[in-house]
Amino acid sequence: MSGATVAEFIGYWENEGQAYVRHGDYEWMASLVPGKRVLEIGSGVGFATQALAKLGLAVLSIDSLSECLELTRQRVEGGDVTLMQADLTALTDEQRATIDSFAPDTVVCWLMGAPAETTGAAAADGGRAVIAYREKLHRLVAELAVSLPTVQALHFIDRTAIPWQAKDIGRDTLVNYHGGKTLLDLPFVAVRANALYRKLGEDGLNNAPNRKAHPSLKGVVPTLASLLAERKK
């Protein structure tokens, strides 16, 4: 769990994000983004926004937490980045107008998460609350992308753990998962070629203790799962 309170959530992602930076994960994520104008759903503490800005992309990044937006602001000074505090589940007319006028060609939603006080997560629920929260937000992101006629691509990245030798099978699983939930009946399509996995570094989400305690997890490694969906022509 990434923290029960806002302060714990931010502390977790400051540490975790630094590990991703050292491993080049955010650079990899940003390199997969097509287009020049990116709507980022969830700035987090700003590492991903920073990576997008470093590529010279114009970014509109929204987050519901003012604390996250302030940290992001400090990381992207000088870049073509606009920050907006907004709740995706309750966008105001003014916020929606800002998004419309920005005219993004790509929407990204990376490593979606929130404090437990938002997701309702508890240690005893086996991660079900976090999964439900993520699925709900992913669908909202996809529906928002559909409503923006300039958007041609939708990019999701989440953390998971898979047997690395089965990553090719995992690519099909990733496409089918989002196709059957996130993108169901929407005019976006994802194909296997745009489903990618990347091993996380040894200092990020180290799974070694779990593998020792549970031999059945041998070969399972923490990864980033990336899926790019494109608007149907």
33-67 burial string, b = 16+ CB within 10 Å, else e?
Answer: bebebbbbbbbbbbbbbbbbbeeebbbbbbbbbee
Whole-number Å distance between alpha carbons of 87 and 100 = 16
CATH 3.90.25.10 fits 6-231, yes or no: no
Q: pTM for the complete prediction?
A: 0.89
CA-to-CA distance for 58 and 197, rounded, in angstroms?
26
| Residue spans per domain, the chain | 6-231
10-residue mean pLDDT series, the chain (233 residues): 76 92 97 98 96 98 95 94 96 98 98 67 65 91 98 97 94 97 98 97 52 58 97 95
Dihedral angle computed from the Cα positions of residues 145, 151, 152 and 153, in that order, rounded to the nearest 10 degrees = -50
Q: What whole-number distance in Å separates Cα of residue 153 and Cα of residue 126?
A: 32
pLDDT at 116: 61
pLDDT recorded at residue 213: 44
Identity of residue 4: A
> How many other CB atoms are found less than 10 A from the CB of residue 88?
19
**Spatial separation of the C-alpha atoms in residues 133 and 120, rounded to whole Å:** 9
